[in-house]
Structure 1
């Protein structure tokens, strides 16, 4: 599976964009309508939904890049996704008094998925960058 992503790393940008769009819809629409169920304040949900929208734009821009040069861009989105996980955890801690068990479950599941993808993106980005530098030598 790793070889598949090394030979076609742009698939990761598509996966990331799809995941980011799903997160944006869930946070910015679904959870907002169910604010009482999840206990995450509306402003926080909109803030958290806005970040994945930016990530989607980044991913779509990266799809226009030459396949041989995407390693650094994958590493960037991996790091940005880890930062997003930290922000999500931070907002959860900040609102710990209002968040319900369902809110905690949502954040935990999203962080696990996003963090796993981020590590994978960074790993593939490093391998693609290394492979490309070896080809140039």
Structure 2
């Protein structure tokens, strides 16, 4: 299998899982958001000399996942009757975060070192994949297809 086939297979599995367990998708996204916030707002800031990412950029990026986690955990705890409608906003928010992250990466590219690029690009790819999966699950749940 080539990398694009692997990615497609993983995305298909996430989408199937999300359609069967949409509430758990909020939990997974919320936990991931907390990990992102901790990595960006604490770990990478302390390791600026290794990653080269300016602390101000990291703190700006860390704010987003905190809000995402609050939204995700609220949706998880409230157990909504139509989770598809609530997955769409977080999917769009995740994709917006990726765009903002990429803009900041380009703006600060002179400072970011290879480990910083590896971390940031990896995070953006994971968040983008999750955002696309959430939008697909939202479409399937609101249209009645599973």
- Asked if TM exceeds 0.5, the reply is yes
Structure 1 runs of 4+ with >2 Å offset: 1-5, 64-68
How does 1:35-74 map onto structure 2 within 5 Å? 35-74=48-87
Q: What TM-score, normalized to structure 1?
A: 0.90
Indicate yes or no: 2:33 matched with 1:24: no
CA distance, structure 2, for counterparts of residue 4 and residue 23 of structure 1: 22
Of the candidates 22, 25, 30, which is equivalent to residue 12 of structure 1?
25
How far is the alpha carbon of 1:5 from its aligned partner?
2.3
Indicate yes or no: 2:111 matched with 1:101: no
Task: Give me the CA root mean square deviation.
Answer: 1.5
SS in 1 for 2:18: helix
Q: What TM-score, normalized to structure 2?
A: 0.85
CA deviations on 1:78-112 (whole Å, 9 max, x unpaired) are: 11100000111111000011111111111110011
How far is the alpha carbon of 1:127 from its aligned partner?
0.7
Contact 1:71 1:129 in 2 (8 A): yes
CA deviations on 1:38-81 (whole Å, 9 max, x unpaired) are: 11111111111111000000101112444431112101111110
CA distance, structure 1, for counterparts of residue 80 and residue 21 of structure 2: 7
Q: Which 5+ residue runs of structure 2 have no aligned equivalent?
A: 1-12
Q: Which 5+ residue runs of structure 1 have no aligned equivalent?
A: 133-137
SS in 2 for 1:99: coil
- What residue number does 1:86 align with? 99
